[in-house]
C-alpha cells in the first residue's frame, strides 16, 4: 500500500486502515474499474456529509470508480477493503454492487472532504455515523467497535 490511503477494510480487519508509505509505487491496481458519473443522489450525499462534518469541498474534483466485485471486497496491492479513497487523483473506488450503499459511499466522501485516510471518532462516529456499518446502523455508538482507536 504505497502512496495510498484507504478505508473500510473487508471482513474483520477493520482496524487496519493502513498508513501510507512515502514514495510512490503505482496506484492503479484496482482492476476492472470504470469511472461512474456522479448522480444527483451523490451530490445530495456529499452535501449531507459536508453538513455533518462541517467541511466544505467540491465534489466535482472527486472521481468515482466502480469495481466489479460481487463480494464487495476490493484489493489494492496487498490490502483489501470495501471501498477506497485515494488521495492521488482524489479517487473513490466502490464495489459496483454497492454504489447505492449510503454509509459506504459517504464514508469515502468524508475521507475526500478531510483529505486524510484516518478515522477520527469525533468525525466518523459522532458527527457523521459513517465509521462502519455497525456505526451507521446504531448512531448511539460512541466508537467504532471494529476500530476503537479510529485509525
Residues that bind Zn ion (CB under 5 A): 7
C-alpha 20/C-alpha 2 separation (Å) is 6
Phi, psi of 53 (to 5 degrees): -90, -20
Choose between 66 and 110: whose C-beta lies nearer to Zn ion. Answer: 110
Choose between 40 and 94: whose C-beta lies nearer to Zn ion. Answer: 94
Q: How far is the CB of 53 from Zn ion (least distance, A)?
A: 13
Computed over its alpha carbons, how large is the radius of gyration of the chain? 14
Q: How far is the CB of 113 from Zn ion (least distance, A)?
A: 12
Choose between 40 and 72: whose C-beta lies nearer to Zn ion. Answer: 72
Q: How far is the CB of 111 from Zn ion (least distance, A)?
A: 5
Amino acid at each position: 500500500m504505497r502512496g495510498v490511503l484507504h478505508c473500510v477494510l473487508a471482513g474483520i480487519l477493520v482496524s487496519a486502515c493502513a498508513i501510507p508509505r512515502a514514495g510512490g509505487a503505482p496506484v492503479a491496481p484496482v482492476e476492472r474499474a470504470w469511472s461512474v458519473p456522479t448522480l444527483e443522489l451523490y451530490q445530495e450525499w456529499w452535501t449531507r456529509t459536508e453538513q455533518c462534518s462541517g467541511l466544505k469541498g467540491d465534489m466535482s474534483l472527486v472521481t468515482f470508480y466502480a469495481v466489479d466485485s460481487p463480494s464487495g471486497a476490493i484489493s489494492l496491492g496487498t490490502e483489501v477493503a470495501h471501498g477506497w479513497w485515494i488521495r492521488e487523483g482524489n479517487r473513490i473506488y466502490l464495489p459496483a454492487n454497492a454504489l447505492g450503499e449510503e454509509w459506504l459511499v459517504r464514508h469515502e466522501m468524508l475521507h475526500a472532504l478531510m483529505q486524510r485516510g484516518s478515522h477520527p471518532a469525533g468525525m466518523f462516529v459522532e458527527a457523521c455515523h459513517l465509521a462502519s456499518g455497525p456505526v451507521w446502523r446504531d448512531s448511539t455508538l460512541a466508537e467504532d467497535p471494529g476500530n476503537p482507536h479510529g485509525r
